């Protein structure tokens, strides 16, 4: 999916990847950020995660290896990151509870959906952002640096740097710089 190809969800390698992520996520659900072993599980789930980045359990994702975090990223509890395509989050960004980031996108044609067709478009959140609680970020969206996204917003289009954006659909209501 990350190369723009149709996925084959029956593929043994893809199923092994899902299984690996789900087993690590199950372990993570029984831990706090203070527990011994927490960091090892997190690093096994998200290879290359910076030591300064924190993800509070429970956390949900499809693969884990499609999530790329900058230094000092904080992700609060009960977030869902569907990482069929890459999800990149810049340094010093704060993600509130219940935020959902989706990269998968299903075809509008029901016949293709019946075939199990699915696309995935990357999501990028810039550095020094604050994503408010229960916000939803849709496939293919880029949020610029130093943005604030209001709680409950549904981000369907790109948001430029230094923006305060809110609503459903999410719209820029003022510049922050």
Distance CA 27, CA 1 (A): 27
Q: What percent of the chain shows pLDDT beyond 70?
A: 94
Range 39-46 average pLDDT: 97
Kindly report the number of other CB atoms within 10 A of residue 162's CB atom.
17
Res 30: pLDDT: 95
Please check whether residue 153 is in contact with residue 170, taking contact to mean a CB–CB distance below 8 angstroms.
Answer: yes
pLDDT at position 5 over 70: no
pTM: 0.94
Residues marked active site are found at 106
pLDDT at position 4 over 70: no
Range in 2-11, 65-74, 122-131 with the lowest mean pLDDT: 2-11
- Per residue in 27-37, pLDDT (tens digit) is 999 999 999 99
- Backbone dihedral region for residue 30 (phi beyond 0: left; psi -120 to 50: alpha; all else: beta): alpha
pLDDT at position 169 over 90: yes
Res 41: pLDDT: 97
pLDDT classification of 151: cutoffs 50, 70, 90? very high
Sequence-separated (6 or more) residues with CB below 8 Å from residue 127: 70, 90, 91, 92, 93, 145, 146
Distance CA 45, CA 39 (A): 10
């Amino acid at each position: 999916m990350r190369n723009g190809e149709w996925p084959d969800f029956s593929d043994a390698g893809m199923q092994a990847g899902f299984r690996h992520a789900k087993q690590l996520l199950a372990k993570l659900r029984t831990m706090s950020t203070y527990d011994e072993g927490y960091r090892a599980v997190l690093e096994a789930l998200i290879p290359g995660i910076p030591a300064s980045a924190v993800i509070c359990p429970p956390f949900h994702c499809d693969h884990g290896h499609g999530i790329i975090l900058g230094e000092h990223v904080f992700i609060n509890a009960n977030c869902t990151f569907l990482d069929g395509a890459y999800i990149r989050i810049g340094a010093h960004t704060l993600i509130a509870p219940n935020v959902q980031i989706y990269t998968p996108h299903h075809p509008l044609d029901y016949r293709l959906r019946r075939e199990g067709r699915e696309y995935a478009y990357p999501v990028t959140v810039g550095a020094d952002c604050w994503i408010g609680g229960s916000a939803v970020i849709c496939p293919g969206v880029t949020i610029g640096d130093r943005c604030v996204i209001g709680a409950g917003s549904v981000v369907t289009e790109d948001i430029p740097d230094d923006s305060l954006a809110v609503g459903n659909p999410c719209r820029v209501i003022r510049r922050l710089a």
